[in-house]
Amino acid sequence: MRYYIERHSSKIKRFLFLAVLLIGVGIVAKLLIASKQDVVKNKELGSSSNDPNTPVLVSTRVLATGNFGWGGAISSRSGGVTSYPFSTLAEFSRNQYEAWMTNLYCAPDEVGENNCQTSFVEEMSSWFNIVALGNSSSGSSSASSPLRQALSNFGIQYIGSKDPAASNICAPMTLPARFTMGDTSFKVAKMPLALCSIYVNEANLRADQIDNIRAYSALMPTWVYVFNNPSNGLTTTASQSSKYQSVIDAGADMVLGNDPISVQGAENYRGKLIIYSMGNLTYQGSSVDEEIKRGIMLSITASSAIDQNVLEWSNFVNQCSLEKDNCINVSRGKGLSKPSYKYDIELIPVSIDSNGLPVEADKTWSQLAPERLGWADLIETLDYTK
C-alpha cells in the first residue's frame, strides 16, 4: 500500500487538488446564488441602489373630470361624426397622463330619448380609460346593455347605475402606472383603485351602499363619484354635506361630485378631499347661463413607495378587475392589504365653448375657480398631500 502511494503520489495530489477545487467552486456558486436571491428580494422591497432593475416608486397620473357626454345638442351638432365631441380634448395633453376618467352623462335628445349612441365609444376609448355611470342619464343598468357592452368591447372600465337603490356601486379598477427604477428609468406597472359611482337623487345613501364603499376602502384606495341631482346652484346644501361626508366616514379617499352641473365648493373633511360639484366638461343643452359652461378637472398623481404588498397588487390588479365581485375575497385570501397612496392634486379650471365642448379656461374663470373652492388653503391641509 505504501509502495502504491509513493509510486502514484503525483496522481493522488492532482486528484486531491481537483477535488478541493471543485468543492471550492461549489461553495462559491452557492454563495453567488444566495447573493442573487438576496438581490431579488431587495429589488422586490425597493432597494435605494442605482440598479436599473430595482423599483423604488410606483406612480400614476390621472385626469378626473366632471360630466362628459355626446347627447342632446352635441349629438345634433356632430352630424354623426364620432370624433366631434372629443375634438377639443387635445388641448389638455392626454399624453401627460396614464389615465383619464369621467362621469358619462348622456343627455336626452329633443324627443326625450336617451342619446348615448354606442358609435361614439370607440373614439372615447382613445381618451378615457374609466367612466362612472351612476347618474340619471346613463341608460340601461344591465351589463348586456348596448352602452355597457360597447364600453367593455373597447376596454373602458366602468361602474355605476341610474338606479338610486343599486347596492353594488363600487368596482376594482386597473390604473396604468409606472415603476421608477433605481437608476431613475421607468418600467410599466399597474396600481389598484376602487371606483364607486352613486346616483343618490334626494335620498340619503343606503346602508348597503355604505357597506360596499367600506368593504372596498378597507383593501384599496377608493375614489367616489357622486351624482346628487339637486336643483342647480352654487351653494352646497346641508343634505349634500351629510351625504358626501358619510362617504368619507365609510373610508373613501376622496369624493368627486358631479351634480348640480355648476361648480360648487370643496371641503377638507377628516383630512380627505370633497369636491361638491365639478360641473360639466361638455354641455349638451342650449342654456346661455355661464355657470353651467364652467367646470373643473383634477390632475391627480398617486404614488407609493415599493414594498412586497405593492408589488403583489401590481401583479394581481388585472385579475382583480376582471373578477370584480370576487376581488375582495381573493385579495383577502392572498393576504393583501391597502396600499398607502400619497396624492399630488392640481386644480384645472375648464371653460365650455359655444359648441358645448371643453376649452382652456378663460381668464375670469381661471382666477375665480380656485377662489370658489378655497383651493390654495385647502390643498395644503389634506392628510395625503403633506
Give the model confidence (pLDDT) of 277-300 as tens digits.
999 999 988 787 888 899 999 999
Q: Is 155 left (phi over 0), alpha (psi -120 to 50) or beta?
A: left
50 in any annotated domain = no
Report yes or no on 336 lying in a domain. Answer: yes
Task: Examine the domain organization and report whether 208 and 314 are in the same domain.
Answer: yes
Is 305 part of any domain? yes
Residue of 273, 296, 285, 291 lying closest to 385 (CA atoms): 273
One domain for residues 21 and 69? no
| pLDDT for residue 62 is more than 60 | yes
Same domain (yes/no): 340, 295: yes
38 and 73 assigned to the same domain: no
One domain for residues 124 and 6: no
Residue 314 lies in a domain: yes
Specify the number of domains making up the chain. 2
pLDDT of residue 33: 39
Cell numbers representing residue 383 in the block: 392628510
- Which of 52-66, 118-132, 227-241 is predicted with the least confidence, judged by mean pLDDT? 227-241
Inter-residue contact 258 to 240 (CB < 8 Å): no
Same domain membership, residue 159 and residue 15: no
For residue 115, give the 3-state DSSP assignment.
coil
Residue 35 predicted with pLDDT over 60:
no
Please measure the distance between the N-terminal and C-terminal CA atoms of the chain and give it in whole angstroms.
83
Residues 149 and 270 in one domain: yes
Alpha helix segments (H runs only) across 218-323: 238-249, 308-323
Determine, yes or no, domain membership for 356.
yes
Burial of 112 per CB tally in 10 Å (0-12, 13-18, 19+): exposed
Please state the separation of Cα 294 from the chain's center in Å.
Answer: 24
Say whether the peptide bond before residue 176 is cis (omega within 30 degrees of 0): no
**Is 49 part of any domain?**
no
55 and 187 in contact (C-beta within 8 Å)? yes
Residue 15 lies inside a defined structural domain of this protein: yes
pLDDT of residue 25: 43
In a domain, 182, yes or no: yes
CATH of the domain at 268: 3.60.21
pLDDT tens across 312-367, in order? Answer: 999 999 888 887 778 999 999 999 999 999 999 999 999 999 999 999 999 999 99
CA distance 381 to 171: 29
Domain identity same for 267 and 119? yes
**What domain range is 283 assigned to?**
55-385
Give residue 158's pLDDT. 96
**Judgement on whether residues 116 and 26 belong to the same structural domain of the protein:** no
Task: Looking at the structure, tell me whether residues 160 and 118 fall in a common domain.
Answer: yes
Residues 244 and 268 placed together within one structural domain of the fold? yes
Q: Are residues 278 and 250 in the same domain?
A: yes
Read off the pLDDT of each residue in 189-216 and give the average, rounded to a whole number.
93
